[in-house]
Amino acid sequence: MDRDPDIALVALAVILVAGAIAAVVGGLRSDRRRSRIAGSTGAFSAAQVRGGEWSLVLDRTGDRQIQVIKEIRTITGLGLAEAKRLTDRAPSIVLDRVDHASASAAYQVLATAGATVRITEVGPPEPPAPGLCTVVLHDAGPKKIQVIKEIRMLTGLGLAEAKQLTDRVPSTVLADVDSETGAAAQARLTAAGATVRVTGS
């Protein structure tokens, strides 16, 4: 009879010790999870608001390529084939010349999907070489579909990429082309209702 309270006390002590060990292990796991999350986001936490222009570069898709392709399509508006091409040709630029907040948000999405990505700062565009010019679209105008068709014919871009140029004006349609090519492109786009400027000599 005297041993029953001793057994109960020993059992209680074992339960308390086991609970304390479980709490310590759980805390360590939580710390590791927090460290991993901090490691993926810490590069940007100190500078969420930055000026300038930035590019988001995909280095590797990881083991979940389909999920990464889905996220790239959501981020960029690209079609399935074009988004897959980006993953197949890694390292490749997913976003180019965007603000830091946009690049950072897209970074988080792709990193969560398992991709290896990085953000790089883009310097000012280089001036065109002497004798060459750049064709810049400022407004697609009322006949946007026709303008997209002309851009595709001039550049060889896919539908989604050509549409992106019309959505994100001002945008460069042709760069470092001779003045004759630039003037011809300007004439075609202007005839389709777009507002276009040719810069350079």
Q: What is the pLDDT of residues 67-105, one digit of tens each?
A: 999 999 988 887 888 888 888 887 888 888 788 888 889
The reply to whether 57 and 118 lie within a common domain is yes
Q: What is the pLDDT of residues 36-69, one digit of tens each?
A: 333 333 334 333 445 678 888 898 888 888 999 9
The reply to whether 107 and 139 lie within a common domain is no
Last residue of a domain, one of 104, 122, 140: 122
Domain that holds residue 105: 53-122
- 155, part of any domain: yes
Please list, in sequence order, all residues whose beta carbon lies within 8 angstroms of the beta carbon of residue 104, skipping any fewer than 6 positions away. Answer: 44, 48, 119
- 23, part of any domain: no
* 116-132 average pLDDT score: 74
Buried b (16+ CB within 10 A) or exposed e, 68-78: bbebbbebbeb
Q: Give the model's pLDDT for residue 87.
A: 87
The reply to whether 147 and 108 lie within a common domain is no
Please list, in sequence order, all residues whose beta carbon lies within 8 angstroms of the beta carbon of residue 134, skipping any fewer than 6 positions away. Answer: 128, 172, 174, 175, 176, 177, 182, 198, 199, 200
Q: Provide the CATH number for the domain around residue 103.
A: 3.30.1390.10
Tokens of 21: 């060990």
Tokens of 153: 């014919």
- 110, part of any domain: yes
- 101, part of any domain: yes
